[in-house]
Amino acid sequence: MKTLAIGDIRIDRVVESEMPIFEPDFLFPDATREALDAQRQWLEPHFVDPLSGKLIMSFHTYIVRTPHHTILVDTCVGNDKHRPARDFWHQLSNPYLEDLARLGIAPEAVDYVMCTHLHVDHVGWNTRLVDGRWVPTFPNARYIFAREEYAFWQAKAAAGEEVNHGSFDDSVLPIVEHGQAVMVESDHALEDHIWLAPAPGHTPGNIVINIEGGGDSALLCGDTIHHAAQMDYPEWSSRFCEDPILSRQTRTALIERLADTPTYLLAAHFPTPVAGQIVRHADAFRFKPRG
């Protein structure tokens, strides 16, 4: 992804992994091969792999640099995490920190870490393994968690459930225990030009992040939209949505609001080239990647 400038704010991306990963009807239980085939012409080769037919997805962090702060949005899966139910995430050893360093970012220089929600693939690099203990990867950062989101998963953990493949225990609770978590409302403003907005459905406390400056704007939508195929079929909620009906309503409203506007959409899992805009197309929508 080329650096995106929103006024005097700069947005970059660090990719942990990008690959064809899910069959369409696995990620979207309502998907049919016929429906997807009808859109293959524009989805291939960036969003659907022409050989396997699998959805191409990226797992990445956005780096948002303002004149005042360095902010990371969503922290992928993480290294050394025990995820046996997802072999492609189990005990990873990726050069994530080295990739941050190539952008001139040391862990100590990060001011905020913001998680759009607390699923396993959005919190992993919150912590790293040091001498057998999970410690905050970014020692000087404040980690911004939506209060409603944290309370939902905390209740499940208190009931004895294994939460999000164990990531609540190894990637969220250590942040709280080290005193670096900041619980905020879902409309919290981080700076004058960066603020959260509630986007419930995928999870109860799911949020999106709005950025404005210099007449430009971007919206980091997390998993409110998983894949470009949802431009044609916004009614398709993922199997990982806690409330599929509410997720559909939130996603549809978001797509309709952004359509034919100059606002850049930055999703959590869109593959390269990532940034783009939503445009109307016949009776549906398209994602138009940034040139």
Residue 110: per-residue pLDDT: 98
Q: Tokens 């999970």 map to which residue?
A: 134
Q: Tokens 């409110």 map to which residue?
A: 224
Q: For the chain, what is the domain count?
A: 1
Show Cβ contacts of residue 81 under 8 Å, excluding neighbours closer than 6 positions: 89, 90, 91, 92, 124, 166, 167, 170, 171
Residue 142: per-residue pLDDT: 98
> How many angstroms separate the CA atoms of 74 and 169, rounded?
17
Give the CA-trace dihedral at 218, 222, 228, 233, to 10 degrees: -110
Torsion-angle region of 80 (φ positive above 0: left; ψ -120 to 50: alpha; else: beta): left
Query: Domain limits at 119?
Result: 4-289
Residue 32: per-residue pLDDT: 94
Q: 240 — phi, psi (to 5°)?
A: -95, 5
Residue 126: per-residue pLDDT: 98
Residue 148: per-residue pLDDT: 98
Residue 138: per-residue pLDDT: 98
Average pLDDT of each block of 10 consecutive residues along the chain (291 residues)?
Answer: 96 98 97 94 96 97 98 98 95 98 98 98 98 98 98 97 97 98 97 97 98 97 98 97 98 98 98 96 94 68
Residue 179: per-residue pLDDT: 98
| 84 to 15, 122, 135, 183: CA distances (angstroms) | 22, 17, 21, 30
- CA atoms lying within 13 Å on the CB side of residue 87: 0
* Residue type, position 272, single letter: T
Q: What is the CATH number of the domain that holds 36?
A: 3.60.15.10
| Closest listed residue to residue 47, CA positions, set 255, 246, 230 | 230
